[in-house]
Structure 1
Amino acid sequence: MIDFLFSYETLRFIWWGLLGTLLVGFAVMDGFDMGVGALLPFVARTDIERRVAINTIGPVWEGNQVWFILGGGAIFAAWPALYALSFSGFYLAMFLVLFALILRPVGFKYRSKRASRTWRTRWDWALFVGGAVPALIFGVAVGNALQGVPFHLTPDLRPIYDGSFFGLLNPVALYCGLVSLAMLVMHGAAWLAFKADGTVGARARTIGPKAAIVSAVLFAGGGLLVWTGLLGGYRVTSPIVWDGPSNPLRKSVVADGGAWLANFQAHPVLWLVPALGILAPLSAAAGFRAGREGLTFLASKLAVAMIITTAGIAMFPFLLPSSTAPDHSLAAFDASSSRATLRTMLLAVGIFLPIILAYTAWVYRVLWGKVSEKSIEQAGHSAY
């Protein structure tokens, strides 16, 4: 059993699953933080209302962003070729995301340093950018991955990006960006309805159903793009060797319009994932209207997880296909670190991930309860 668990084939499959888990964890945990930032100008009109909205995420956003760091670390250690290509080819997009994310801690720390209305309004818009821009760009990145990214590998496996920043902003990628933005706005509204008392929570319950329905409709529309072959797809035509060396140049790949449906057709039970990706946001919309705050937030979490998981299942075993040199595409079976690296990292994850989960659960238990205007007034300057 131990030999099977630590075989190269099993380790590669486990780390593909762990990468997906970390990315889903980031979207679920930090996604509502970004959603609250994107909603800030619309759910809060006075300074005290904005402080209510900000204080629902102020104590937890840093811990939630740990999932982003873990995901980046997993890519760096387990899938170095993917890391090298993503952070070089997508450099400007990554810079834009990091710039927006940096605005969040600065906005949280500085907006209440002065009582000036102009000062605070500017930082509130910075928090809006810090929420809306990453939510959009992350979806654009997924859209480009689904279509294939223009790159090739040199004989010594050095990745060369053949595209441009503005080439990433194509219609299909922007469509996926809108799916991501609508999904996280829904998630942020669900969090505010669950956590914020008074006017802010009421406005979130008004906006939330609309965002949830838009999420379901856009996600279903993306499914039609896949079904009709307009989104493209890639298929490995050579034998797949899961325990072979990490060399993406040793396989044959062809573009195939129906390839992203192959895993679902081979394993029909997997159709439950995209089905839940549509049903969960519709359930969240119903929960908003029924005032079932806890169930609404759970449905929103499920929607986020299922929408992202659908993309991962569709692309498997690809990590990042190449549109200009399909044979150079990065796949889970030929773009990983060594067996020893994956094994050592898995042992570390087995120790530290449960600790992170336990600590996260404890933090949310301690911070249980709604944030109200009265609690902000009583906290005074200690609140954001």
Structure 2
Amino acid sequence: MILHEFMSYEVLRVIWWLLIGVLLIAFALTDGFDMGVGALLPFVAREDAERRVVINTVGPVWEGNQAWFILGGGAIFAAWPPLYAISFSGFYLAMFLILAALILRPVAFKYRSKREDPAWRARWDWALFISGTVPPLLFGVAVGNVLLGAPFHLTEDLHSIYEGGAFGKLFGLLRPFALLCGVVSVAMLVAHGAGWLVLKTEGAIQQRARSFGSKAALVAMIGYALAGLWLAFGIEGYVFVSEPLHDGPSNPLLSEVVRQGSWLAAYGTRPWIILAPVMGFVGMAMAMRALRESRGDLSPLMWSQMGIFGMISSVGLTMFPFILPSNSNPDSSLTVWDASSSHMTLFVMLVASVIFLPLILLYTAWVYRVLWGKVTTDEVSDPDKHAY
């Protein structure tokens, strides 16, 4: 009886909402510093040897880090099919650009060192910059559009209709608030990448990373604060007209939703969630301080991780239980209570996650333990130690 109560449909839905958040935050914390390093590459490395040092700090780990993105996408597909269908089709062109940029990264890694021509290598360095800047920018824009509401509606047979046309699916996303969220996303990952470079490099590269990273952390905090004020005074939230059935069928049209008030009203009903934005501000502020004052090699990375965790989790906690609101038909909005897979599917997936997720974490920890240490100019000149 106790197990049945714990594994009720309602509880499983909340567990999978949390797990999706964990997977996406894990992607930001790991592959986030890879992208941040790529965005910093043209600015922290002035000559070819320095650029090779920067590239080799992430070369051995980026593939494993990117696996969290695949896990997150797969989990959304299996646990929240309507969310996967509407978001991936509605944000199709933006998602295509993200994937193209992510594909560009390994190509740049592999081809950069094939020729010693400086112009050839410079072009691939800028390709790495693009692959490190475009994904976080568009991820942030996507988050901003989720908070604003996406232009879709569901028919009576739950067929989703995304409005705006093909070009609207890209340029329609570039709304001012969404662009601000994109800037925050890029800035916080650049600060995170700077923290990684402080940990993995030394000398001039490390000092430049500290300089650029501290500025990026400041931009992230200012942008995050502006976004919060914008949410408080310029963007309506979503609320249920009456309490939905938490363990009912996955049919959003069974609930009545309206736009009113502010997203930040959630802090009045669930005051404890204030911990998330506090962690975001404190983490980024301490990362900026650690970068500016040269406080250890590990502390900037750890503080930036805290900041990213707080900033991203604050979005999910503020919106709960909404996961993809509709601004054209609020009743079509997807929520935790009406957009999941079946009870059995969620339970089987949870059992698999309990078995395999700890193994992934242990393996990841072992890899980072093996690769611990700084990358130096002398080491990258040895082809037996570094491939890039």
Category of TM-score, reference length = shorter chain: over 0.9
The answer to whether structure 1 residue 168 and structure 2 residue 158 are counterparts is no
Aligned residue in 2 for 1:338:
342
The alignment partner of 1:119 has SS state of: helix
What residue identity is the alignment partner of 2:27?
Answer: F
Q: What SS does structure 2 have at the residue aligned with 1:210? A: helix
Task: For residue 161 of structure 2, give the secondary structure of its aligned residue in structure 1.
Answer: strand
> Offset at 1:381?
8.4
Distance in 1, matches of 2:272 and 2:242, equals 26
Encode CA deviations 1:178-210: one digit per residue, 9 max, x unaligned. 010111111111111111122211110111111
Report the equivalent of 1:360: 364
Shift of residue 231 of structure 1? 2.5
Question: Following the alignment from structure 2 to structure 1, what is the Cα–Cα distance between the partners of residues 34 and 235?
Answer: 30
Residue 265 (str. 1) matches residue 288 (str. 2): no
Question: Aligned equivalents of 2:15 and 2:59: distance in 1?
Answer: 34
1:179-194 superposed matches below 5 A: 179-194=184-199
| 1:216 and 2:221 aligned | yes
RMSD: 1.1
* Residue 173 of structure 1, CA deviation: 0.5
Q: 1:157: how far off?
A: 0.8
Residue aligning to 1:156: 157
Question: How do 1:298-309 and structure 2 match up within 5 A?
Answer: 298-309=302-313
Pairs aligned (count): 382
2:201 is aligned with 1:196: yes
Contact 2:379 2:385 in 1 (8 A): no
Distance 1:106 1:239 in 2: 50
User: Structure 1 residue aligned with 2:284, among 278, 281, 285?
Assistant: 281
1:227-246 residue CA offsets vs partner (Å, 9 max, x unmatched): 22x13211111222111000
Q: Residue 78 of structure 1 corresponds to which residue in structure 2? A: 79
Partner of 1:254: 258
CA contact (8 A) 2:379 2:386 kept: no
CA distance in 1, matches of 2:339, 2:268: 26
Q: Distance in 1 between matches of 2:65 and 2:229?
A: 33
Deviation of 1:266 (Å): 1.3
Residue 315, structure 1, aligned to residue 316, structure 2 = no
SS for the counterpart of 2:382 is helix
Query: Residue type of the partner of 2:281?
Result: I
Q: Percent of counterpart pairs with the same letter?
A: 58
TM-score w.r.t. the length of structure 1 is 0.98
What are the ranges of 5 or more consecutive residues in structure 1 without an aligned counterpart?
none
Partner SS state of residue 319, structure 1: strand
Aligned counterpart, 1:347: 351
Distance in 2, matches of 1:129 and 1:296, equals 24
Q: TM-score, normalised by structure 2?
A: 0.97
Structure-2 change in CA distance of 1:366 and 1:8 (3 Å): same
What secondary structure sits across from 1:293 in the alignment? Answer: coil
Q: Within the alignment, does 1:206 sit opposite 2:211 as a pair?
A: yes
**Does structure 2 conserve the Cα–Cα contact (< 8 Å) formed by 1:93 and 1:137?**
yes
The whole-number CA distance in structure 1 between the counterparts of 2:261 and 2:163 is 22
**Which of 289, 292, 298 is the aligned partner of 1:294?**
298
SS at match of 2:247: coil
Number of the residue aligned with 1:3: 4
Is the Cα–Cα contact under 8 Å of residues 212 and 285 in structure 1 kept in the other structure?
yes
Query: Partners of 1:177 and 1:59 in 2: how far apart?
Result: 28
Q: CA deviation at 1:263?
A: 2.4
CA deviations 1:15-55 (Å, max 9, x no partner) are 00001111111111110001001111101111111110000
- Residue 231 in structure 1 maps to residue 235 in structure 2: yes
Give the match's secondary structure for 1:233. strand
Deviation at 1:382, TM superposition (A): 4.3
Q: Identify unmatched segments of 5+ residues in structure 2.
A: none
Partner in structure 1 of residue 139 of structure 2: 138
**Which residue of structure 2 aligns with residue 325 of structure 1?**
329
Q: Secondary structure at the match of 2:236?
A: coil
Whether the 8 Å contact between 2:321 and 2:335 is mirrored in structure 1 is yes
- The 8 Å contact of residues 186 and 211 in structure 1, kept in 2 or not, is answered as yes
Write the letter of the residue equivalent to 1:29: T
Shift of 1:154: 1.3
Q: Distance in 1 between matches of 2:70 and 2:6?
A: 26
Deviation at 1:257, TM superposition (A): 3.4
Q: Distance in 1 between matches of 2:141 and 2:196?
A: 24
